[in-house]
């Protein structure tokens, strides 16, 4: 069986970490199984859906490397939904209901006050043709509900949660179409999954009840349903995911210097029994996705963990992967020297001054100035090659008796203006002999 997954965002805003995670898992599952990953834009909300948001979703997916194999828009498929709706209506599986939102709310409150579940009472099914005609003559337009089959429990095997069981008698018949003829999510999604050949639906556990109801819709349309995987929702480091984290978008993460590979590595593994580790490419994440390793406990998303993983990811990145984002003056050798000290690629530019510009060294005491004056003389006498740092420190250790911090720190401060940073063995040859000697002499004055 060819595997087909889909990611179905509404183009009413930018992607955030929660739906990025859903998109990633759908993409990984399709790629692992040499299948197809589809983008479906759920743009039935004409007032809030915009082409600008649709384009932003495409751009965010491209940045993450989650390029879909095809794209469809629900707004192009209304005729299809209408045909299937008519088929269900003819079969008696959808029916018109005329209660207003206020009337339905009152019914729910009465049931809740009696300690009963707030389930729709199917009063609309008792209306005769004449009663419906009278209501419509008074200007009432119906909304439409899907009639659930109450004869047996709804049971399915979820890839994450195992066996799931829902009693349809404890659920309201879901509204599938509004009074104005516009569509709600439930039925169009089922029709799309059938028509698009979707075999696996990966989404959040907040859709579990929806899935149970939709399984009856698949059956009513004579279709085999997809396999479902409902993953645990994200939480923040302090429990419930805060609004700030929940709304954290791909654009904000990108602007803060987060690498898409770091974000993917975190979102692929949190909530699973696998460790979160940096990866060199997506291949490791594709190979590693296994819904049997997903847990049911909330998945903890931590910005500090992401920042740390981002730094570790950058340390693995070869020059070719970042060359087009680096300023002039940062070549392969420079990148190799400074990358282990970067938290974001943008920080590479901060080291240009250290490599070739002006620095501000701290003020040194008399003993350190004498030591640095001697260091300038020794540096001027050395052959400038890859071992120049070892040669310089070795000669100064023998001549001054200094060692450890007393030997290395004044040299680093005088040569870079920093207390810490890249390995000086790699950095000093890049600074160059003339500039290094000049800096040592300046620090000794």
Cα–Cα distance measured from residue 18 to residue 244, given in angstroms and rounded to the nearest whole number:
12
Q: Which residues are bridge partners to 299 per DSSP?
A: 234
Backbone angles phi, psi at 363, to 5 degrees: -75, 135
Q: 3-state SS string over 194-227?
A: HHCCCCEEEEEHHHHHHHHHHHHHHHHCCCCCCE
CA nearest 342: which of 422, 415, 278? 422
36-41, strands of its sheet edge to edge: 4-7, 36-41, 70-73
Find out whether 169 is annotated in a ligand binding site: no
Kindly write down the DSSP assignment for every residue of 107-175, as one continuous string.
Answer: HHHHHHHTT-------GGGG--HHHHHHHHHTT---EEEE----SS-EEEEETTTEEEEE-GGGSPPPE
Query: For tokens 């039925």, what's the residue?
Result: 187
Cα–Cα distance measured from residue 362 to residue 239, given in angstroms and rounded to the nearest whole number:
45
Q: How far is CA 371 from CA 233, 382, 409, 415, in A?
A: 59, 17, 12, 13
Give SS3 for 302.
coil
Cα–Cα distance measured from residue 231 to residue 207, given in angstroms and rounded to the nearest whole number:
10
**Strand bridging mode 36-41 / 70-73:** parallel
DSSP structural state of residue 299:
E
Instruction: Give kind and range of the element (H or E) at residue 185.
Output: none
Q: Residues marked as binding? A: 243
Annotated binding residues for ATP = 243
């Amino acid at each position: 069986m060819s595997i087909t997954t889909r990611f179905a965002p509404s183009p009413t805003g930018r992607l955030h970490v929660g739906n990025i995670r859903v998109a990633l898992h759908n993409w990984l599952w399709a790629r692992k199984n040499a299948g197809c990953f589809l983008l479906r834009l759920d743009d039935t909300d004409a007032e809030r859906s915009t082409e600008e948001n649709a384009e932003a979703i495409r751009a965010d997916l491209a940045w993450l490397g989650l390029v879909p194999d095809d794209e469809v828009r629900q707004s192009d498929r209304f005729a299809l939904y209408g045909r299937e709706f008519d088929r269900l209506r003819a079969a008696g599986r959808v029916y018109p209901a005329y209660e207003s939102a206020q009337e339905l709310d009152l019914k729910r409150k009465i049931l809740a006050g009696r300690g009963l579940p707030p389930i729709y009472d199917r009063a609309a099914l008792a209306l005769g043709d004449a009663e419906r005609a009278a209501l419509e003559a008074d200007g009432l337009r119906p909304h439409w509900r899907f009639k659930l089959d109450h004869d047996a429990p709804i049971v399915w095997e979820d890839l994450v949660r195992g066996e799931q069981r829902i009693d349809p008698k404890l659920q309201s018949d879901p509204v599938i179409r509004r009074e104005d003829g516009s569509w709600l999510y439930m039925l169009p999604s089922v029709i799309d999954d059938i028509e698009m050949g979707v075999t696996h639906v990966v989404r959040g556990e907040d859709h579990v009840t929806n899935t149970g109801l939709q399984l009856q819709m698949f059956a009513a349309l004579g279709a085999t349903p997809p396999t479902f995987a409902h993953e645990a929702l994200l939480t923040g480091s302090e429990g419930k995911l805060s609004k700030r984290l929940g709304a954290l978008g791909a654009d904000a993460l990108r602007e803060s210097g987060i690498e898409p590979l770091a974000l993917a590595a975190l979102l692929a593994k949190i909530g699973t029994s696998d460790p979160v580790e940096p990866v060199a490419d997506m291949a490791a994440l594709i190979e590693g996705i296994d819904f049997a390793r997903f847990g049911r406990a909330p998945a903890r998303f931590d910005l500090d963990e992401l920042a740390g993983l981002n730094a570790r990811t950058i340390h693995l990145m070869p020059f070719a992967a970042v060359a087009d984002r680096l300023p002039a003056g940062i070549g392969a050798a420079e990148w190799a020297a400074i990358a282990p000290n970067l938290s974001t690629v943008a920080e590479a530019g901060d080291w240009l001054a250290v490599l070739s510009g002006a620095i501000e060294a701290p003020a040194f005491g008399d003993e350190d100035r004498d030591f640095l004056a001697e260091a300038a003389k020794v540096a001027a006498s050395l052959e400038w090659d890859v071992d120049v740092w070892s040669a310089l420190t070795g000669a100064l250790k023998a001549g001054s008796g200094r060692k450890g911090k007393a030997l290395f720190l004044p040299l680093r401060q005088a040569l870079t203006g920093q207390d810490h940073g890249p390995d000086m063995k790699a950095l000093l040859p890049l600074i160059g002999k003339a500039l290094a000697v000049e800096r040592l002499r300046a620090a000794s004055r």
